[in-house]
Amino acid sequence: MKRKPKLGQNFLVDDRARHAIADALGDVSQRTVIEIGPGRGAITEILAPRAGRLIALELDRELAPALAQRFSGQSKVEIVEIDVLRADLSTLVPPGGTADVIGNLPYYITSDILLKLFTAGSAGLLSRAVVMMQREVADRVSASPGVRDYGLLSATAQMNARVDHLFTLPPSAFSPPPEVYSTVLRLHFAPRFAELGVDATGFDAFLKQSFAQKRKTLENNLRAAGYSSSKLAVSWPTVIPRQARAESLGLEPMAELYRALTSQAEAPSSCTAQ
């Protein structure tokens, strides 16, 4: 069946690739799996007999009913016509348990979906995810401090999950072929907020302030966020050079600075999440 792609859709047609993506999730026989954007069901049909329960979230008004009809005879498979960003993931996870996620994330909302998954992971709803995205975005998610691609998305991702870079697919693996390469990542949700002694809401806001302008030093970004020079001077850890930029620093020294700043009695009035 030929159809005009919409919603930025590029359908996975490489048979070896779709099996490799499904296999990367591991044994799901006793697991609830949430699939984001099943499209024509390339991965859905592999997971349907494997998963303890498979819930596929599809926004497309033509694809969703077609998938529902196709898998209507399989009681463990549920097709939900919904925008993943509007879905309440807590209602899809078994009580007292966790779910796994798999999907080819739409390029234009990849970051938004990742942030939603990190929030769910921090809430103890998700265990792992195998997700495909534009290669450039995947490089940012998995980048290490000190390299060009490291930034707010990298720090946020690595604060919430262990990131495994699995493999990259060429445009020819899709129909129609996109103009970019796509990379598959595996995320093991393991929030580090308690480990690093920081609160999630405050530290997330602090990271946004720290990476606000990439060309500025960390100190200048924080001054712009409302921290006074005297407060920064008193709180500044010796492990952080005064001219350092946020992208050169790992999460540990960033958390050390945040703890020192928040331990001060007076917080900057304009220091809010952006």
Please tell me whether residues 123 and 178 are part of one structural domain.
yes
Please tell me whether residues 203 and 187 are part of one structural domain.
no
Q: Is 83 annotated as a binding residue?
A: yes
| 15 lies in some domain | yes
Strands 11-12 and 174-175, how do they pair? antiparallel
Q: Is 37 annotated as a binding residue?
A: yes
Three-state SS at 5: coil
How much is the pLDDT for 9?
82
Number of domains within the chain: 2
Q: Is 257 annotated as a binding residue?
A: no
Query: Could you give the CA distance from residue 70 to residue 95 in angstroms, rounded to a whole number?
Result: 28
How much is the pLDDT for 271?
45
Please tell me whether residues 46 and 127 are part of one structural domain.
yes
Give the pLDDT confidence of 253-267 residue by residue, as tens digits: 999 999 999 997 444
How much is the pLDDT for 2?
41
Please tell me whether residues 160 and 209 are part of one structural domain.
no
How much is the pLDDT for 264?
75
- Helix or strand holding residue 32 (H, E): strand 32-36
Q: Final residue of a domain: which of 132, 162, 191?
A: 191
Q: Is 97 annotated as a binding residue?
A: no
Please tell me whether residues 159 and 258 are part of one structural domain.
no
How much is the pLDDT for 1?
38
How much is the pLDDT for 273?
39
For the domain that residue 181 is a member of, what is the CATH number? 3.40.50.150
Q: Final residue of a domain: which of 127, 160, 191?
A: 191
Maximum pairwise Cα distance, the chain? 67
Please tell me whether residues 158 and 199 are part of one structural domain.
no
Please tell me whether residues 256 and 135 are part of one structural domain.
no
CB within 8 Å of 73: residues ≥ 6 apart: none
pTM to 2 decimal places? 0.90
Token pair recorded at residue 49: 């007999």
Q: Containing domain of residue 69, as a range?
A: 11-191
For the domain that residue 251 is a member of, what is the CATH number? 1.10.8.100
CB within 8 Å of 65: residues ≥ 6 apart: 81
CA-to-CA dists, residue 251 to 145, 198, 203, 206, angstroms = 9, 11, 10, 12
Token pair recorded at residue 260: 């020192």
Q: Is 220 annotated as a binding residue?
A: no
Please tell me whether residues 180 and 250 are part of one structural domain.
no
Please tell me whether residues 237 and 223 are part of one structural domain.
yes
Query: Could you give the CA distance from residue 84 to residue 57 in angstroms, rounded to a whole number?
Result: 6
Helix residue ranges per DSSP H, the chain: 15-23, 44-47, 63-70, 110-122, 135-142, 152-160, 193-196, 200-210, 218-224, 229-235, 251-263
pLDDT averaged over 10-residue windows placed end to end, the chain, 274 residues: 54 97 98 97 98 98 97 96 97 96 94 97 97 98 96 98 98 96 98 97 97 96 96 96 97 98 64 40
